[in-house]
Amino acid sequence: MGRSCLLTRSDVFRLIADGGKIVIKDDAVLRLDGWLEKHPGGRLAILHMVGRDATDELNISHSADTLKGMNRFRIGTLTGEWSNFVPPIQGGIFSLREHENDPKAKVPDKVFNSESEKPVQGGALEVAAPPWTEKAFPPILLSSEKILSPDEYFAQACQDDINASVQAYPSLDAATQGAIAKKYQELHERIKREGLYDCDYSRYGIEMLRYGALFAGFVYFLRAGWYGTSATFLGLFWQQIMFSAHDAGHRGITHNFVIDTLIGIFIGDFCCGLSIGWWKSSHNVHHLVTNQPEHDPDIQNIPLFATSPEFLKSLTSSYYNGFVFVYDAIADFTLRFQSYTYYPIMAAARFNLYFLSWAHLLKPSAPNMGRAFWTRPTEILAIFGYFFWFGYVVNTLCIPTWQDRVLFILVSHFATMPLHIQITLSHWGMPTCVLPGECFAQHQLRTTMDVDCPAWLDFVHGGLQFQAVHHLFPRMPRHNLRMTQPLVREFCKETGIKYSILGFKDGNVKVLSRLEEITKQAVLMAKCQAHMAATGESGLH
């Protein structure tokens, strides 16, 4: 197959059915089978784009040089009409079974690999569950007067979510979404032209003064024996410096993979004891499939939290390699209180990050990451460095009693709580349903919100307050996000996409309301079940 070979949508279907990892970029058909395990951005980033036009995702994730280098994977040029398939990892079916005895048989030009590709007239959209989630609910709009079984109640809750999004956002027809994608590409070009990818390093000078002051406070009070105060300074130091690890993880500081990864390892692994590699592997996926219950690890928190009705049934995670988040009696119980447990659990969230970091670093099946192979051993070394300074020097040599050590560890870890709230704030109150045919830019703006704050408070939020802007342009240096926000507002106005922004307090209220809403749904579903068990009827009125 030559590079100039013309390939139709059906050809792409057939190649994927044969096991090919095919991705579209502009009009180029890329075959990435051999690159999957070597990709510095991880294999999942590619798998979620198989069978899709990934032009926008590719353009915003890579440097210009890397983009040029992609030509080596080109196997042909796309011809004819294109619409995205559902990737196999997301449940898309690419089966040639009917044709398996006839290798010359032509796959019909109109190939659908999932029911979810077919929009329904009349404003509402009917979506069948991807088969691999093994959820069987009828793809019908249900009336509220009907007696509902738990399955039907569940289906209605998911459908209500979809309807709300469909009504609030531009049409999903190909012409509208194509026009939005084009405008987004124009905006990206403008941003590059206006130098908004250039990092002003003097801004990091100011950041470093702040980190230095917090660190000095930690050391000063530690030596003075004021352990609680010292621990608070250390927690605030971690909260602040992790914003720079976030920038480095996105290669948003120097834009150089090696230098930014080393900065990320120094801050994340050595200073904070958390694996930047783990964070990148989950965060890159989060950016590509934002708020999608089966795929986005950031919202997979059963049995502690559910931000989508989809979690009210057991759900298989593609991120955790097919792990099933079971909706069992424990989840049913804990979700009743999730709006009350939100803050206490956020306060202790840092302990869980250690576990996730080590689970990532010790994973036996880890891909070799090609030229990024050195990152894992470097991280392990850096994390040992963290345990040496935090565990041995601070907690063993400097703090005399075990009671003070416990206090120090708890206070320092709880003091990072604002960071965990900031991380969840921009997504947990936003829609979680998948809309077939939706372009990248609209999906990001529908599932992400910004937090409104005056410029002088920017340091408190560390850039996470411009989450919607950041999701559109993840590699943009943090200090340019405020300048880019008006351009994104303008883009939203022109395209009719709702731009979501709330103050910190209202953002918290939104998250808590969403948690309460899902709790109510869980309670009603349990009532349906109890009613069925008691009466033998199919559900509730």
Q: Give the amino acid at 145.
A: E
In terms of CB distance, is 257 or 358 closer to ligand HEM? 257
Neighbours of 402 (CB within 10 A): 9
Sign of the alpha-carbon torsion through 507, 510, 514, 520: positive
In terms of CB distance, is 284 or 422 closer to ligand HEM? 284
In whole angstroms, the minimum distance from the beta carbon of 53 to ligand HEM comes to: 10
In terms of CB distance, is 370 or 496 closer to ligand HEM? 370
Do the beta carbons of residue 42 and residue 277 sit within 8 Å? no
In terms of CB distance, is 125 or 248 closer to ligand HEM? 248
In whole angstroms, the minimum distance from the beta carbon of 244 to ligand HEM comes to: 15
Determine, following the binding rule CB under 6 A, whether residue 61 of this chain makes contact with ligand HEM.
Answer: yes
Do the beta carbons of residue 372 and residue 43 sit within 8 Å? no
In terms of CB distance, is 49 or 125 closer to ligand HEM? 49
Between 272 and 291, how does the x/- string for binding to ligand HEM read (CB under 6 A)?
Answer: --------x---x---x---
CA dihedral 521, 525, 530, 533 (to 10 degrees): 170
In whole angstroms, the minimum distance from the beta carbon of 528 to ligand HEM comes to: 40
Whole-angstrom distance, CA of residue 309 vs CA of residue 324: 16
In whole angstroms, the minimum distance from the beta carbon of 76 to ligand HEM comes to: 15
Whole-angstrom distance, CA of residue 59 vs CA of residue 124: 32
Between 5 and 44, how does the x/- string for binding to ligand HEM read (CB under 6 A)?
Answer: ------------------x------x-x--x---xxx---
Determine, following the binding rule CB under 6 A, whether residue 87 of this chain makes contact with ligand HEM.
Answer: no
Segment lying near ligand HEM (by CB under 6 A), choices 63-71, 74-82, 316-324, 509-517: 63-71
In whole angstroms, the minimum distance from the beta carbon of 475 to ligand HEM comes to: 8
Q: How far is CA 423 from CA 118, 284, 428, in A?
A: 34, 14, 9
Centroid of chain to Cα 208: 28
Do the beta carbons of residue 135 and residue 129 sit within 8 Å? yes
74-78, strands of its sheet edge to edge: 6-7, 74-78, 28-31, 22-25
Segment lying near ligand HEM (by CB under 6 A), choices 66-74, 325-333, 355-363, 528-536: 66-74
In terms of CB distance, is 285 or 528 closer to ligand HEM? 285
In terms of CB distance, is 63 or 341 closer to ligand HEM? 63
In whole angstroms, the minimum distance from the beta carbon of 24 to ligand HEM comes to: 9
Whole-angstrom distance, CA of residue 218 vs CA of residue 14: 60
Whole-angstrom distance, CA of residue 92 vs CA of residue 289: 15
CA dihedral 306, 500, 192, 251 (to 10 degrees): -30
In whole angstroms, the minimum distance from the beta carbon of 65 to ligand HEM comes to: 7
Among 11, 53, 57, 310, binds ligand HEM (CB under 6 A): 57
In whole angstroms, the minimum distance from the beta carbon of 286 to ligand HEM comes to: 10
Residue from 87, 92, 95 nearest 45 by CA: 87
**Token pair recorded at residue 252:** 């948003």
Among 58, 187, 231, 234, binds ligand HEM (CB under 6 A): 58
- In this structure, what are the phi and psi dihedrals at residue 450, rounded to the nearest 5 degrees? -90, 160
* Half-sphere exposure (Cβ direction) of 327: Cα atoms closer than 13 Å: 21
Q: In the complex, which residues of this chain contact ligand HEM (CB under 6 A)?
A: 23, 30, 32, 35, 39-41, 45-46, 49, 54, 57-58, 61-63, 66, 69-70, 73, 251, 257, 280, 284, 288
